[in-house]
Structure 1
Amino acid sequence: MVTENQSLPVQDRLVLVPTALRALVRRSEIWLVLLACIIGALSGVLVAAMTAVAQFLHQVLFGISATEHLSGVDSLPNKWFVVVPAVGGLLLMAVTWAYRRYRSNTPVDPIEANALHGGKMSLIDSFYIALQTMISNGFGASVGMEAGYTQVGSGTGSAIGEAFRLRRSDLRLLVGCGAAGAIGAAFAAPLAGAFYAFELILGTYTIAALAPIGLAAITGVVVNSLLVEPAHTISVTSPIGLGQSAVTTLLLLGLITAGVGIAIMRGVTAVEDLFKLSKIPVWLRPAVGGLAIGMLALITPRILSSGHGALSLVLDDSMPTLRALLILLVLKAAASAISLGSGFRGGLFFASLFLGAIVGKAYVAIVALIDPALAPDPQIAAIVGMTGLAVAIIGAPLTMAFLALETTNDLPLTIAVLCTAVVTSVAVRKTFGYSFATWRFHLRGEAIRSAHDVGWMFDLTVRRLMRHDVRTIHDAISIRQFRQEFSLGSTQRVIVVDDQERYVGIVLVADVHSPTLQDDKKTIQELLRYKDLALLPWMNIKEAAQKFDESESEALAVIDGNATRKVVGLLTEAHTLRRYTEELEKARKDLAGDR
């Protein structure tokens, strides 16, 4: 006898949840909020564990102390350490090979999961991504850990949500809770974590989502703070003045960070293309990229890993020279592009903060050469620059503004940061149109611009919408025979096929019965419409609607393929639009929190 839990898919059986408890969570918002807190707490634990593993690898592989950051050391203790990233690349490919022997599916990230899959993520795949991220960062690749944090946090939320068999909207919400807890824990910034979930993982802000997302971010921060030292807090020693010249100067910095962000995103793609053109085997590319990173580390180890230690040095009161800043900017950007382009796993979240701080201080040095009176405070410009570049690459202006507020505790500075973030966001959207995540989706051919739930469009296919009981006639039939078989008013249209049962067009009954049509001995071939327009079963509802717009037809035939052209059904525009409207209304209710 098969029990209820035994009949569930494997991932649902990871956590066995009694029926009564599932019902409580599905019916009550309070229980859903409690579940969100649990997910936030688990995210905080996972972030602490991943951070500890990466730091341990830095200590063992590069010989640094437990109190040091890898990117904060002045030089590598031994020149042989330059091969460590290459070894990490080989280990990464070995792990990838072993994993793919048992799993053939491609892991999805939280944005893709919420946009296309209704929040469904594989917990096993998420831990695999986390392992790849720890290896990449731990062996010195110039990537951040934040992508791994959000992946494993969101994957945990999705797995728990599926175990409770939650609705599609609630499952997507728990994915956001996992990400909020992870980012909040990583930066000790619950507001930034919450709005990261709203802007990037859910794609929208709603009152109904505030309690679970906000509390998940808070519990993530609290639990993480009990396990590790609190994140670095930036102390702003110079008061900011919001005069016209200061605001104008900082807004110009926002435009510059937009351009730098676009250049970095295109740079990663360019490096990937170069590796493809080089004919280097895929399994060897991370090792080659790692060797290049190691060689750059001989110039300065500031380019290694996420950049936490290097960021602290850049934000220090001591002002580096313009030449040193520009060299570090180029080397760190190149190292990040090489790391991701060669196949290391990670993200650009913290790298964008670090690079933005460099851009801010370099900007001050350049302005000071032109007119010292116009140069803003270097520390303030660094914070504005790091926020602007992060907005350009990550695409979350409110998240970055709240991150500045929570790390500096300076409200006037946050106002300046928010203004700059808006300028940067608009500039990138108008000139480039993508954040780093959505740019990667675009390169893969996915039409995803945000985490808005569009998966139902892909699930709602022509095959599910069409009528199957469709009568056809042959194109050799005469107009007289047609009139005898189909009287005026019996039906609106008839699908026509040739002698090999292939689709050739549609005949409108009203056309055949037109009084102006005198010669009824002719065949109906002269009255055929939409000869080259037909739907395919696997088209989604959006593609079907576009076909109706192109043809200006009220109904189209559905054929099994362009080669065989066998008629398998009929779909009307009215039914398509009605189902589309129903799904939009359902999505609207989900956003409004109607349970």
Structure 2
Amino acid sequence: MAAGRITREHAPQHEVSRRLSRRFQVSLVGEGALVGLVAGALVTLYRLSLSGAERLLRGLTGAAAGSPLLMAAWFAVLVVILVVVSRLLLWEPFTSGSGIPQVDAEVIGRIDMPWHRVIPAKFAEGTLLALAGLSLGREGPSVQLGAMAGKALSRGLGRKRGEERLLVTCGAAAGMSAAFHAPLTGVLFALEEIHKQFSAPLIISVMCSAVASDFLVSQVLGVAPVLSLALVSDLPHIDYALVILLGVLCGALGAAHNRGMFACQQGFSRIGGHLPYSRLAVPFALSGVAAFAWPDLMCGGDAILEQILSPQALTIGAIAALLVGKYVFTTMSFSSGAPGGTLFPLVVMGALVGGLFSSLSTNLVGLSPAFFPNFVALGIAGLFAGVVRAPITAVVLVFELTGSFDALLAVSIVSILAYVTANLLRTDAFYDHLLAALLGTDPDDPQVSGLADGGEKVLRTVHVAAASHLEGKLVREVAWPDNVRVMTIERAGTEIVATGDTRLYALDELLFIVDADAAEDASLKLGLMCGTHLRE
């Protein structure tokens, strides 16, 4: 039996040589570009479908406003949409939520989504929810659609599981690029949030995918960016005290955003009967009310952005009300499990935070109103970094939205401070928490037994470097840090469930779980033991 196990562990070694070959790296670049074209086309059609649905929504609800009979008819339409979306969710459960945690789990090899079901279901669900007016974003679903396009091409090309995950990452980058019309943001988001690894072949492949997707969107189909900010001038250094204050504020608001979302999800989890109909009924009812009482809150937030970019008519009270209303409606919509994302509403809320901070600073300390767009951009970066914990992506996103390096220093300061502040407040990063919930990593899970009781659990991965302390050892021979449990080992595209008799080799990727309270210490120790940098 031991010989059989050793044979299985050594069998994929020829795949290691292939993955390190120049021919493989060049072919991966070409395949990444192909994924970008296919994913870009799919996500562009998705964006156009959502835009058409939102126009139809506003036309119908605008015509029905003031007529009790027509308003009642609209609520009847919402009931029909609720039933159809629920049926689709029952048909394909992996389409629930934004889709980004599912892509994370796909990349680390924990789930295997059926792309041929996810793509049509997610496309239809997103369009129907836009027609219903729920406060959800298009970016998360676009990432999932792009990732599934990459998986479909991988299966069509006959690629193995390890290469398939690389093409899934390329598709995710293409999806984000097409959704935001921001290719560099797509690249950084895919690497920083999804794949969580930086290597030259991977970066080039992902860049090819994102650039090909953006070219198709902007040059061929002519889809405009979702948001464009024009900065009049750079902030003078004397106002950088306000930049520091905004960074800390965004970190605190990011932590509050996540805690509110997580608490609301726990509340919805207590609804146990007639799922998913009963949970979706709550945001659908709110959407029906908002359609006639406060239509600005509906959908992703394009109507709010139009007001933010022309702020003359907005008072401080109006901005604050829009911020609170958008957060509550988005939280209720997303926490119900509705198939939609939060990234675009998050961008809208960040713009509102920056606009509100600018208006208050103008009244209280005499900040020039001309810097209003600057603080809108800073608010977007700060809240994004505080919620998602991807500060590099936040900086690049603002650069692509403004098209200017003038605000680079201020944006970097805000993003770093927001990231640090949110971490110090001991609140989970948004997508890390959702991924842990998706994988069911709780203390009662037999796979994570042996960890310390209580507290949040987080997932981490690390590569075993050549000639490191771990290379060649059995798992049971390693003195692992306290509260660490190795879950799986990926070796050249093959996933191995870790046991005490599993031998570790160079280039192995270890997936382990650890108590959040001990994560920093465990990360440092494992980084030294593996002879490589740990990645989150």
TM-score, length-scaled by structure 2? 0.74
- Is structure 2 residue 33 aligned with structure 1 residue 37? yes
Is the 1:258–1:388 contact (alpha carbons within 8 Å) kept by the matching residues of 2? yes
Query: What is the match of residue 192 of structure 2?
Result: 199
Paired AA for residue 344 in structure 1? A
* SS of equivalent to 1:229: coil
Q: Which runs of 5+ in 1 are unaligned?
A: 1-21, 65-69, 101-105, 455-464, 467-540, 551-570
- Shift of the 422–108 alpha-carbon distance from structure 1 to 2, 3 Å rule, reads closer
Which position in structure 2 is the counterpart of 1:223? Answer: 216
Aligned match for 2:433, one of 431, 439, 454: 439
What are the Cα deviations for residues 42-68 of structure 1, in whole angstroms up to 9, with x where unaligned? 11101111112222222334327xxxx
Structure 1 CA distance for aligned equivalents of residues 507 and 384 of structure 2: 38
**1:126 maps onto 2:121 in alignment:** no
Q: Is the 8 A contact 1:85 1:287 kept in 2?
A: no
CA shift for structure 1 position 98: 4.2
Deviation sequence 1:481-524 (CA, Å, 0-9, x none): xxxxxxxxxxxxxxxxxxxxxxxxxxxxxxxxxxxxxxxxxxxx
Match of 1:51 in 2: 47
Q: Counterpart of 1:252?
A: 245
Query: 1:318: how far off?
Result: 1.9
Q: Does 1:340 align with 2:334?
A: yes
Could you tell me how far apart the structure 1 residues matched to 2:75 and 2:415 are? 37
> Which residue number in structure 1 is paired with residue 11 of structure 2?
none
AA matched with 1:274: G
User: For the residues of structure 2 that align with 1:147 and 1:396, how far apart are their CA atoms?
Assistant: 15
Gaps of 5+ in 2: 1-17, 94-98, 443-456, 464-472, 484-498, 512-526
CA change 1:61–1:357 in 2 (3 A) is: closer
- Contact map agreement 1:126 1:155 (CA 8 A) in 2: yes
Structure 1 residues 74 and 388: CA distance shift in structure 2, 3 A = farther
Give the equivalent residue in structure 1 for 2:6. Answer: none
- Contact persistence 2:56–2:131 (CA under 8 A): no
Residue 331 (structure 1) shift: 0.8
Match of 1:156 among 138, 141, 149: 149
CA separation of 1:76/1:142 partners in 2, compared to 1, >3 Å: closer, same or farther? Answer: farther
Aligned partner letter, 2:341: G
Q: Distance in 2 between matches of 1:397 and 1:107?
A: 17
Aligned length: 450
Task: Give the distance between the partners of 1:58 and 1:419, measured in 2 at CA.
Answer: 36
Q: Matches of 1:76 and 1:263 in 2, distance apart?
A: 35
Q: Quick one: which of 49, 58, 71 aligns to 1:62?
A: 58
Distance 2:115 2:294 in 1: 38
Match of residue 96 from structure 2: none
Aligned match of 2:180: 187
Report the alpha carbon displacement of residue 153 of structure 1 after superposing the two structures with TM.
Answer: 0.8
In structure 2, the partner of 1:506 is: none
The alpha-carbon deviation at position 110 of structure 1 amounts to 1.4
Counterparts of 2:225 and 2:115 in 1: how far apart (Å)?
Answer: 27
Which residue does 1:408 correspond to in 2? 402
Q: What's 1:351 paired with?
A: 345
What residue in structure 2 maps to residue 507 of structure 1? Answer: none
Equivalent residues of 1:137, 1:305 under 8 A apart: yes
Partner of residue 427, structure 1: 421
What SS does the aligned partner of 1:204 have? coil
Residues 549-578 of structure 1 show CA distances to partners (whole Å, capped at 9, x for unaligned) of: 79xxxxxxxxxxxxxxxxxxxx87xx65x5
Question: 1:177–1:213: 8 Å Cα contact kept in structure 2?
Answer: yes
Mapped contact 1:315–1:357 kept (Cα < 8 A): no
* Alpha carbons of structure 1 residues 446 and 160: separation in structure 2 relative to 1, 3 Å: farther
Q: Which residue in the other structure is 1:321 paired with?
A: 315
Render the CA deviation track for 1:4-48: whole Å, top value 9, x for unaligned: xxxxxxxxxxxxxxxxxx99x994322221111010011110111
Structure 1 residue 421: Cα displacement? 0.9
Matched, 1:579 2:504: yes
* Residue identity opposite 2:224 in structure 1: P
Task: Tell me, in whole angstroms, the C-alpha distance in 1 between the residues paired with 2:189 and 2:114.
Answer: 21
> Which residue of 2 is the match for residue 383 of structure 1?
377
Conserved in 2, the CA contact under 8 Å of 1:326 and 1:362?
Answer: yes
Deviation at 1:211? 1.6
- Structure 1 121/107 Cα, relative in aligned 2: closer, same or farther at 3 Å? farther
For 1:410, what is the secondary structure of its paired residue?
Answer: coil
- Seen in structure 2, the aligned counterparts of structure 1 residues 108 and 253 have a Cα distance that, compared at 3 Å, is closer
Counterpart contact for 1:146–1:183, Cα < 8 Å? yes
Cα deviation for residue 218 of structure 1 reads: 0.6
The equivalent residue for 2:89 is 96
CA–CA distance in structure 1, aligned partners of residues 381 and 352 of structure 2: 11
Aligned to 1:141, which of 134, 137, 146? Answer: 134
1:362 paired with 2:287, answer no
For the Cα contact (< 8 Å) 1:85–1:141, is it kept in 2? no
Between the aligned partners of 2:43 and 2:223, the Cα distance in structure 1 is 12
Distance across 2 between alignment mates of 1:291 and 1:580: 55
Taking a change above 3 Å as real, the CA distance of residues 141 and 240 of structure 1, as seen in their structure-2 partners, is: same
Q: Which whole-Å CA distance do the structure 2 matches of 1:43 and 1:395 have between them?
A: 26
Question: Quick check: 1:115–1:451 contact (8 Å CA) kept in 2?
Answer: no
| Structure label with greater radius of gyration | 1
> Which of 205, 210, 215 does residue 203 from structure 2 map onto?
210
Change in CA separation of 1:411 and 1:63 when aligned onto 2, cut-off 3 Å: same
Map 1:100-115 to 2 at 5 A: 109-115=102-108
Select 2:24's aligned residue among 16, 24, 28. Answer: 28
Residue of structure 2 in register with 1:471 after alignment: none
User: Residues of 1 paired with 2:91 and 2:159: CA distance?
Assistant: 33
Residues 344-403 of structure 1: CA deviation (Å, up to 9, x unaligned): 111111011000111111112333343224888222111110121122223322222112
Please name the residue that 1:492 is paired with: none
**As a proportion of its length, which structure holds more helix?**
2
> Structure 1 vs Structure 2: percent identity of aligned residues?
22
Structure 2 counterpart of 1:124, one-letter code: H
Tell which deviates more after alignment, 249-258 or 190-199. Answer: 249-258
Q: Structure 2 vs 1, CA of residues 257 and 401 (structure 1 numbering), >3 Å: closer, same or farther?
A: same
TM-score, length basis structure 1: 0.67
Quote how far apart the aligned CAs of 1:201 are.
Answer: 1.7
